[in-house]
Amino acid sequence: MQTHTHHLAFTATEVRKRYVLWDDGEADREWLCLSVLAEHAPGVAPRPLRRESESGGPVVVMDRLPGEPLGAAPLDAHQTRALGRALRRVYDVPLAAVRDAGIGERRYGPSTHHDIVAGWLSDSNDVSECREPQLVAEAVDAALDWLARPDQRPEPQLTALGIADLNPANVIWDGTACRLVDFEDGGLTDPAYELADHIEHIAGRIPPVYDAAGLVEAVGLSAEDRARMEAFRPVWAAFWLAMLLPGNGGFRRNPPGTTEAQARHLLAMVD
């Protein structure tokens, strides 16, 4: 499950990202994604400058982007449109260029994520620390039931490059444009799957940062892709329920009651 994977050091012009964990290819994914974006969507993400090593661990050095991270307040309409344009530029990178660069499926990608989340939720989870254990247990059961239904699982597609982690802190706003950072989980994906991930991200949903309808409109999803996006949202709601169970980092980091709020959100969605 999710852990802290890197440390950042800043100069006036550069960001030095040292990876604490790299067994899953985090540094390689970041370097490859940034390299392809620098060629095919310049300005939407930092330019990769060089690779280094520190204490046996990989380091990626990149441009420092102007602006400040979003997330302190809900995005206004102008910011939402700007974020939609940035995401669309990423999705429009030629698929052949992504594959030729050797970029594989994103972490927690559409071909495997249902089974991964079901495995987490199937573990013996002690919910006694929760404020409302019965509610959380009911939500876990409902999530497992939904994840086991093949009719609820859209056919996986790998048609575009994606950032994967759209924590609002990974969106840099300079007053005019949004730029994206943190591609260590990025890779081949499906825009409908990506938008479901972004809309359900706990840091953007509680408290609300992203305008879901506005962002989908700004990205320009087709009607078919919007329907597929809605079908993907419960798996991400289940993902965050797993993250927020006792014993996981999300349970410790978030205020009491967050797990119950996520349980209610998932139950409303799958019902």
| Residue 47 domain-assigned (yes or no) | no
| Residue 48 domain-assigned (yes or no) | no
The confidence score (pLDDT) of residue 199 equals 97
Between CA 161 and CA 97 the distance in angstroms is 10
The confidence score (pLDDT) of residue 245 equals 96
Q: Could you read off the pLDDT of 68-99 as tens digits, one per residue?
A: 999 889 999 999 999 999 999 999 999 999 99
Q: Which pTM value belongs to this model?
A: 0.94
Over residues 27-33, mean pLDDT: 97
| Residue 258 domain-assigned (yes or no) | yes
| Residue 27 domain-assigned (yes or no) | no
- Structural domain containing residue 134: 66-270
The confidence score (pLDDT) of residue 227 equals 95
Please list the residues that pair with 63 across neighbouring strands: 14
| Residue 190 domain-assigned (yes or no) | yes
The CATH number of the domain where 130 resides is what?
Answer: 3.90.1200.10
Neighbours of 55 (CB within 10 A): 6
Cβ-contact 257, 221 below 8 angstroms = no
| Residue 26 domain-assigned (yes or no) | no
Q: What is the 3-state secondary structure (H, E, C) of 145-197?
A: HHHCCHHHCCCCCCCEEECCCCCHHHEEECCCCEEECCCCCCEEECHHHHHHH
Q: Could you read off the pLDDT of 179-219 as tens digits, one per residue?
A: 999 999 999 999 999 999 999 999 999 889 999 999 999 99
Calculate the average pLDDT of the chain.
Answer: 95
Between CA 195 and CA 256 the distance in angstroms is 28
Query: 1 falls in which pLDDT band (50, 70, 90)?
Result: very low
Between CA 206 and CA 82 the distance in angstroms is 21
| Residue 244 domain-assigned (yes or no) | yes
Over residues 231-257, mean pLDDT: 95
| Residue 188 domain-assigned (yes or no) | yes
Pairing of strands 178-180, 171-173: antiparallel
- Structural domain tally of the chain? 1
Q: Has residue 5 got a pLDDT over 80? A: no
Q: Could you read off the pLDDT of 211-242 as tens digits, one per residue?
A: 999 999 999 999 999 999 999 999 999 999 99
Cβ-contact 214, 202 below 8 angstroms = no
